[in-house]
Amino acid sequence: MSWRWSVLLAAAACTALVVILAKGFGKDPHQVPFMLAGKPAPAFSLQKLDGSGKVTLSELKGHPVVINFWATWCGPCKVEHPVLDWGYRQYGRQAEFLGVVFEDTVENSRAFLKQSPTPFPQLVDPQSQTAVDYGVAGVPETYFIDAQGTIRGKHVGPLSLDALTARIKDLVQPVAQAR
Amino acid sequence: MGSALPLAILLSTALADFAPQQAGSEPLEPALEARVQRLGKQLRCAVCQGLSISDSPASMARAQLDKVRAMVSEGKSDEEIRDYFVARYGEWVLLQPEAHGVNWLVWLGPVALLLIGFAVIARQLQKKPAAAPQASTEQQAKRPVQAPGDEDEYLARVRAELDR
Amino acid sequence: MNSTLGYGLILAGLACAGFGAVVGIATGMAGRISGLAWVRRAVVGFFVCMVAANLLMVFALLTHDFSVKYVAHVGSRSTPTVFTVVSLWSALEGSILFWGAILGAYVLAFSVAFRKEQSRYVSLALGMMMAVGVFFAFLIAGPANPWTPMSPVPLDGPGPNPLLQNHILMVVHPPMLYCGYVGMVVPFGIATAALLGGQLGEAWTGSLRRWTLIPWTFLSVGIILGSWWAYAVLGWGGYWAWDPVENASFLPWLTATAFIHSTMVHERRKTLKLWTLSLVLATFLLTILGTFMTRSGIFNSVHSFTQSDIGPTFLSFIAILLVFSIALLSARGHLLIPEGQIQSPLSRESAILVNNLLFVGVTFTVLLGTLFPLVTEAVKGVRISVGEPYFNKMSVPGGLAILFLMGVGPALPWGEADRRLIGKQLLIPLATAAAVLAVCLALGLRGVLPLLTFALGGFVAAINIRELVVPARIRISQHGEAPWTALFRSASRARRRFGGYVVHLGMVVILVAIAASHSYVTRTSGTVRIGSALKVGDYQVKLLGFDEGVEPHRTWRAAKMELVGSGEVLRPRMNFFERSTDPIGTPAVKSTPLGDLYLSLMALSEDGQSATLNAWVFPLVGWIWWSIPILVAGALIAMWPQRQSRRAMAPAIGAAASSSSKLRETA
């Protein structure tokens, strides 16, 4: 009798194994969880790259904010550069656009921006402390913060025109309607 | 190194697309720095394949470790630092699973297996064979079992020798 | 042209394997040997096709034939030749192709070794191995096809992953590992043949053991080389990260080691049959599971490839194997009923039984830990990590228990032990342990776990060395032989025993080295300007300046660090490859018998005046790699075939069904 039970147990264990493995398909194992969606955006006060002063998040309360983390050594960041430019021109009145340099030197960033300037402020993040504060796990990542200061979500990877438009439209709606 | 200048130019252009490897923050005094490294061993680097932020050479890991260092020097407790990272990256950032709910399976499963296994073995060993020769257990010890293969008479003598 | 030819070879290989599998299993099950000659020919055909396909791929890589998809994927004109050859196994499709060649080689070797054997069991075994060959040939022909012609043909390729071009060890580690992994097909074939055929003869258990020992040796060397590579190349100062793919290679090693011990009890006592056979089947299953884990893309790992069609195909194969194994074991349950019994808890048999349980426990722990993130994601939708802290905590107790058994097992006799006698025999080993402990405490070493490991190491070494030396001493006293002759002859008379104890000594070296390098490591990090020094442990390293270089496939920058006192210059460096934005560091390691000084360059300042380094001193870590000769020597001694036939051995029952054959242990 115990023979049968052992076989059943072995069969059950093996079935569980195969099911667990099968469920792993289709998921991206390299995706990093993001927990700050729906939470208040962490405060920061960072110097602008052009040296013209500081930008403090609390001062921007009442306006939606789009924060883009990027770096000069990141190919996809350069690809999304014109998308963000366009986004600013379209929606710059509705939302504040900010760029934050991630793990890069001031010289590199200034050199890059001299060649391809952006119309919105670029900020220096010493030792990427603000990036860690926001749960950044690579570049480019773009965070969308609503007028109340809550993070609606983030876009991992280079933005496309459609994605940016959809996010901003969502951003300017109050929370109740943002379904 | 007379040709250093052209080489430097070549290198600087070749290295344009590489993350500049800047130093992290300065280590704290030894006792606190040891605590930073210990905590770092428990936290996962956000861009690596399973390395801790203490072990990883990636710039993101350095940034995370700098954050740990800053928090340690502010006097935050270990739990507060872990909670900080979990609030941003989820439980995924902890390199060993917190013991609650389903996670108990991974901590207790192996222990349970071993305990059950030992219990089964103990029961099997306790079941003395009914028709086993009760007498001459000493004889059995003196006369080692002749196993097929390499344990021949010579080795039997070795055993006898050892038994002396 | 290469594409078509290569693909044709694969299809031919698939045909040979299919033919061999069908004929082998069908005739074997029917009890006939009529098909055996054809099965052998099919094995040769499979081997030829696979090896030819591999050679053709290497040719395509070397001639930069970018019309072949795989070459376009990993080839590059700027890669040095040796790494171009290595790129055969550096990416997914090529590695499966390589697997096929090694599979063909192993099956052919088995067929040749048993060429004089005319039994249905050989037919069945070859048939089963060819069935596995069918799966892999199908994989190469279908989901993992490297031969697809590219159109348009690119002019150049991206080259293999930069990490794989950094060190010469990358040339040796994968082939070793593959020879270990793939080789487990042979014991699988033998075991399933015995079970299918309905008889577990003694000759077969002997072959089973020997044909597991060969891949076991390769696997051990492959795993250690892999950790040496991680240590010497990756710069994080570790050699084992409990990465899913590292675990995947470790799991079959664990069950294979358990099997090698369990089979001793099987042969002598005719018990633990279910344990032994299950361990063989589990070893093979774990190799397939391991291959799946590496190639399915569902695990976050240094080694992982992206998800592809290969995953579901592999999973189906795993499911089929699981069903087949359970069905086979339960259908042939009558073969596995123990004929003997373990007489007493104080005997070598029970030590091996406990050993089995411990090994299975560690295997279960590592498997559960590796799979658990998938479990929580499936059940709760939450992503968690199970990493180094968990595995280190959970494997230490099991590891120490196994270390203890490595000493107690050889000390206990077969059958029943006399308690007083055992007590007397353990006195010297225990004294050795105490002496080791005293010396360590005197040297100022502290910490329960490492000291316990060292003490146990002394205990185990004492017992194993005594078991090696005593037979020689007896020969000297009785035959008057010279010491070395006596040692040699005693080894030669009892090879399994001698080789096994030598391997035990090698394992003690590894475990002691792991304990020392883990518990007594000193670590410093800091930024130094040119001219100033960094202090780590007993060493001081001074930054002299920087070096730079350009190679076809990478540029590098090194910091010149002078070891204060000896004047030796170490050059930890950063390599910049085109394909990745983060540089890959090569650490500078100074190895001495007592430990390693390990320097890793983390950052260079922009003005070229200072460098940030991580520095470690790892005591005894080199012993881990230096144990390889000990393990290999022991394994070779254990598996070396006896010249004279074993007349003491009962004639193989397995041959009963076929014509009589003098079954020698030629394999």
Q: Mark out chain A residues that contact chain C at CB-CB < 8 A.
A: 3, 7, 10-11, 14, 17-27, 29-31, 33, 73-75, 105, 107
Provide φ and ψ at C233, rounded to 5°: -110, -40
Alpha helices in C412-494 (DSSP H): 419-425, 427-442, 448-479, 483-493
Interchain contact, C550 vs B11, CB within 8 Å = yes
For residue C287, the distance in angstroms to the closest alpha carbon of chain A comes to 15
pLDDT at B131: 41
pLDDT at C20: 95
Q: Are C33 and C116 in contact (CB under 8 A)?
A: no
Cα C36 from Cα C517, distance rounded (Å) = 53
What CATH number does the domain containing B65 carry? 1.10.8.640
Between the ranges A163-167, C359-363, C577-581, where is the mean pLDDT highest?
C359-363
B27 and B75 in a single domain? The answer is yes
- Interval B82-101: pLDDT, tens: 999 999 999 999 999 998 88
- Interval C237-269: pLDDT, tens: 889 989 998 999 999 999 999 999 999 999 888
* B155 within a domain of the structure (yes/no): yes
Provide φ and ψ at A80, rounded to 5°: -85, -5
Between the ranges C224-228, C525-529, C573-577, where is the mean pLDDT highest?
C224-228
Smallest CA-to-CA distance from B87 within A138, A134, A153 is with A134
C312: nearest CA partner in chain A:
A22
Mutate to test the interface with B, among A69, A101, A128 (most CBs of B within 10 A): A128
- Interval C306-326: pLDDT, tens: 666 788 889 999 999 999 999
Residues 6+ apart with CB under 8 A from A138: A32, A156, B46, B47, B60
Interchain contact, C375 vs A24, CB within 8 Å = no
Whether residue C341 is predicted with pLDDT greater than 90 in this model: the reply is: no
Whether residue C659 is predicted with pLDDT greater than 80 in this model: the reply is: no
Cα C26 from Cα C165, distance rounded (Å) = 47
C278: nearest CA partner in chain A:
A10
Whether residue B140 is predicted with pLDDT greater than 60 in this model: the reply is: no
Interchain contact, C388 vs B95, CB within 8 Å = yes
Burial A78-107 (b: 16+ CB within 10 A, else e): bebbebbbebbeebeeebbbbbbbbbbbee
Cα C19 from Cα C40, distance rounded (Å) = 11
Total domains present in chain A = 1
Contacts of C470 in chain B (CB under 8 A): 158, 161-162
Looking at residue C49, its amino acid is C
* B1 within a domain of the structure (yes/no): no
Interchain contact, A135 vs B22, CB within 8 Å = no
Looking at residue A109, its amino acid is S
More confident residue, B164 or C174: C174
* A120 within a domain of the structure (yes/no): yes
Mean pLDDT of A133-150: 91
A74: nearest CA partner in chain B:
B17
B89 and B25 in a single domain? The answer is yes
Between the ranges C30-39, C365-374, C530-539, where is the mean pLDDT highest?
C365-374
CB of C371 within 8 Å of a chain A CB? The answer is: yes
DSSP track, C20-80: HHHHHHHHHHHT--TTHHHHHHHHHHHHHHHHHHHHHHHHHHHTT-TTBHHHHHH--TTS-
Task: Say what percent of chain C tops pLDDT 90.
Answer: 54
* Residue showing tokens 């398909």: A25
State how far the alpha carbon of C142 is from the alpha carbons of C22, C148, C291, C451, C591, in Å: 21, 10, 17, 54, 47
Of B4-8, C202-206, C391-395, C529-533, which range is least confident?
B4-8
Mark which of B42, B71, B93 sits at the end of a domain.
B93
* A108 within a domain of the structure (yes/no): yes
The strand pairing partners of C588, in sequence order, are C599
Total domains present in chain B = 2
Mark which of B93, B111, B144 sits at the end of a domain.
B93
- Interval C559-575: pLDDT, tens: 999 999 888 999 998 88
Looking at residue C72, its amino acid is A
Interchain contact, A108 vs B20, CB within 8 Å = yes
pLDDT at C373: 92
B42 and B89 in a single domain? The answer is yes
Mark which of B40, B73, B93 sits at the end of a domain.
B93
Using left for φ > 0, alpha for ψ between -120 and 50, and beta otherwise, residue C276 falls in alpha
Q: Are B65 and B24 in contact (CB under 8 A)?
A: yes
DSSP track, C532-594: -EEEETTEEEEEEEEEEEEETTEEEEEEEEEETTT--EE--EEEEETT-SS-EEE-EEEEETT
Of B32-41, B129-138, C286-295, which range is least confident?
B129-138
pLDDT at B10: 47
State how far the alpha carbon of B141 is from the alpha carbons of B156, C166, C186, C271, in Å: 12, 58, 38, 20
pLDDT at C285: 96
Q: What's the burial of C119, exposed, middle or buried (CB within 10 Å: 0-12/13-18/19+)?
A: buried
Q: Are C159 and C79 in contact (CB under 8 A)?
A: yes
pLDDT at C253: 97
Of B105-114, C299-308, C575-584, C644-653, which range is least confident?
C644-653
* B47 within a domain of the structure (yes/no): yes
Checking DSSP bridges between strand A151-156 and strand C595-604, what pairing results, if any? unpaired
B25 and B87 in a single domain? The answer is yes
Structure token pair of residue A21: 């493995």
- Least CB-CB distance to C414: which of B103, B145, B149? B145
- Interval B124-134: pLDDT, tens: 888 755 444 44
Of B4-8, C336-340, C471-475, which range is least confident?
B4-8
Contacts of C393 in chain B (CB under 8 A): 96
Cα A17 from Cα A27, distance rounded (Å) = 17
Of B3-7, C397-401, C489-493, which range is least confident?
B3-7
Interchain contact, A27 vs C333, CB within 8 Å = no
Contacts of B62 in chain A (CB under 8 A): 127
- Interval C157-204: pLDDT, tens: 877 776 677 677 778 888 999 999 999 999 999 999 999 988 877 778
State how far the alpha carbon of C235 is from the alpha carbons of A173, C110, C389, in Å: 49, 41, 20
Whether residue B11 is predicted with pLDDT greater than 70 in this model: the reply is: no
| Other beta carbons less than 10 A from residue C426's beta carbon | 18
The strand pairing partners of C389, in sequence order, are none
Smallest CA-to-CA distance from C416 within B163, B141, A54, B155 is with B141
* Residue showing tokens 């504060």: A133
Cα C398 from Cα C449, distance rounded (Å) = 12
- Interval C590-610: pLDDT, tens: 999 999 999 998 888 777 788
Looking at residue B101, its amino acid is G
* A140 within a domain of the structure (yes/no): yes
pLDDT at B162: 54
* A158 within a domain of the structure (yes/no): yes
Cis peptide, bond prior to residue C152, ω within 30 of zero: yes
pLDDT at B134: 41
State how far the alpha carbon of C659 is from the alpha carbons of A154, C508, C655, C663, in Å: 74, 47, 7, 11
pLDDT at B135: 40
pLDDT at B19: 66
B89 and B134 in a single domain? The answer is no
Whether residue B156 is predicted with pLDDT greater than 90 in this model: the reply is: no
Whether residue C301 is predicted with pLDDT greater than 80 in this model: the reply is: no
The residue range of the domain holding B138 is 130-164
Contacts of B127 in chain A (CB under 8 A): none
Checking DSSP bridges between strand A96-101 and strand A65-70, what pairing results, if any? parallel
pLDDT at C343: 82
Smallest CA-to-CA distance from B85 within C392, A133, C511 is with A133
Whether residue C426 is predicted with pLDDT greater than 70 in this model: the reply is: yes
DSSP helix, strand, coil percent of chain C (3-state; round to 5) = 65, 10, 25
Task: Say what percent of chain B tops pLDDT 70.
Answer: 63
* B25 within a domain of the structure (yes/no): yes
More confident residue, A46 or C554: A46
- Interval A65-116: pLDDT, tens: 999 999 988 888 989 999 999 999 988 888 999 999 998 888 889 999 999 8
Mean pLDDT of C384-411: 94
State how far the alpha carbon of A85 is from the alpha carbons of A47, A79, A119, A159, A162, in Å: 21, 11, 7, 11, 14
pLDDT confidence band for C47 (50 / 70 / 90): very high
Chains in touch with A (≥3 Cβ pairs < 8 A): B, C
Integer-rounded Cα radius of gyration of chain B:
31
* A85 within a domain of the structure (yes/no): yes
Contacts of A103 in chain B (CB under 8 A): 19-20, 22, 59-60, 63
Cis peptide, bond prior to residue A140, ω within 30 of zero: yes
Average pLDDT over chain C, rounded to whole? 88
Contacts of B24 in chain A (CB under 8 A): 127
pLDDT confidence band for C362 (50 / 70 / 90): very high
Structure token pair of residue C175: 């082939």
Q: Are C544 and C610 in contact (CB under 8 A)?
A: no
Mutate to test the interface with A, among C321, C322, C323, C372 (most CBs of A within 10 A): C322
pLDDT at C660: 35
Contacts of A33 in chain C (CB under 8 A): 382-383
Q: What is the ipTM of this complex?
A: 0.87
Mean pLDDT of B126-153: 46
What CATH number does the domain containing A63 carry? 3.40.30.10
Whether residue C1 is predicted with pLDDT greater than 90 in this model: the reply is: no
pLDDT at B139: 42
The SS3 of residue C446 is coil
pLDDT at B70: 92
Q: Are C501 and B156 in contact (CB under 8 A)?
A: no
Mean pLDDT of C493-511: 94
Smallest CA-to-CA distance from C391 within C373, C371, C370 is with C370
* A44 within a domain of the structure (yes/no): yes
Mean pLDDT of A56-63: 89
The residue range of the domain holding A150 is 35-172
